[in-house]
Homo-oligomer: A and B are copies of this chain.
Amino acid sequence: MTFANVGTLGVQPGRRDEVVEILTRPSSTLAGSGCLSYEVGVSPEHPDTVFVTELWVSAEAHAASLQLESVKASIAEAMPLLTGEFGGFRFDVVGSPLR
Question: Residues of A at under 8 Å CB distance from B?
Answer: 2, 4, 6, 8, 20, 23-27, 30-31, 35, 37-44, 46, 51, 53, 55, 87, 89-99
Asked if A94 and B40 sit within 8 Å, CB to CB, the answer is: yes
Q: How many copies does the complex hold?
A: 2
* A/B interface sample: 10 pairs, CB < 8 A: A6-B53, A24-B95, A27-B97, A38-B98, A40-B94, A41-B92, A41-B93, A42-B91, A46-B89, A51-B89
| Most B-side CB within 10 Å, residue of A20, A25, A92 | A92
Bound Cα distance from A26 to B79, whole angstroms: 41
Asked if B96 and A24 sit within 8 Å, CB to CB, the answer is: yes
Asked if B26 and A89 sit within 8 Å, CB to CB, the answer is: no
**Given known contacts A39-B95, A44-B92, A51-B89, what 18 new A-B pairs fall within 8 Å (CB)?**
A2-B39, A4-B41, A6-B53, A20-B94, A24-B96, A25-B97, A26-B97, A26-B99, A30-B97, A35-B98, A37-B37, A37-B96, A38-B96, A39-B55, A40-B97, A41-B93, A42-B92, A42-B94
